[in-house]
Structure 1
Amino acid sequence: MQYKRFKTREIKVGNVVVGGNAPISVQSMLFSKTRDIESSLEQINRLYFAGADIVRLACLDMIDARALKEIKQKSPLPLIVDIHFNHKLAIFCAEFIDGIRINPGNIGSKENIKDVVKACKERGIPIRIGVNHGSIEKQFSDKYGYNLDAMLESALYNIKLLEDLDFFDIKISMKTSDAQKTIEAYERLRSLCDYPFHLGVTEAGTKFHSTIKSSIALGNLLLKGIGDTIRVSMTGELEEEIRVARAILQDSGVQKSGVNIISCPTCGRIQSDLIKAIKIVEEKTKHINKPLNISVMGCVVNALGEAKGADVAIAFGKNQGLIIRHGEVVAKLKEDKLVERFLLEVEDEAKQRE
Structure 2
Amino acid sequence: MTNTIQPTVVLAGGGHAHALFLKRLQKKQTPPAHFILVSASRYTPYSGMLPGVISGQYTAEQSHIDLELLAHESKCTFLKATVSGVDTKANELIFLNGDRLQYDILSINTGSTQARVIDAKDSITIKPIRPFLSWLVQPLPEHIKQNESFILAIMGAGAAGVEVAMALHQRFKHLHSLEIHIVTAQGILKGYPPKVQKMAKEEIERKPIKIHTHFRVTGVKDKTLISDQNDHLPYDSLILATSAAPARWPSESSLATSPDGFIQVNLMLQSVSHDNVFACGDVAEFTHSRQAKSGVYAVRQAPTLFQNICNMLEKKTLKPYRPQSQFLSLLSCADGRAIASKGCFSTRGRLIWLWKDWIDQRFMAQFPVPATDSMEFNGSD
TM range (shorter): under 0.3
The structure whose RCO (Cα within 8 Å, separation 6+) is larger is: 2
Q: Which structure: larger Rg?
A: 1
State TM-score, norm by structure 1: 0.25
Q: Which has the higher strand share?
A: 2
Q: TM-score, normalised by structure 2?
A: 0.24
Q: Which has the higher helix share?
A: 1
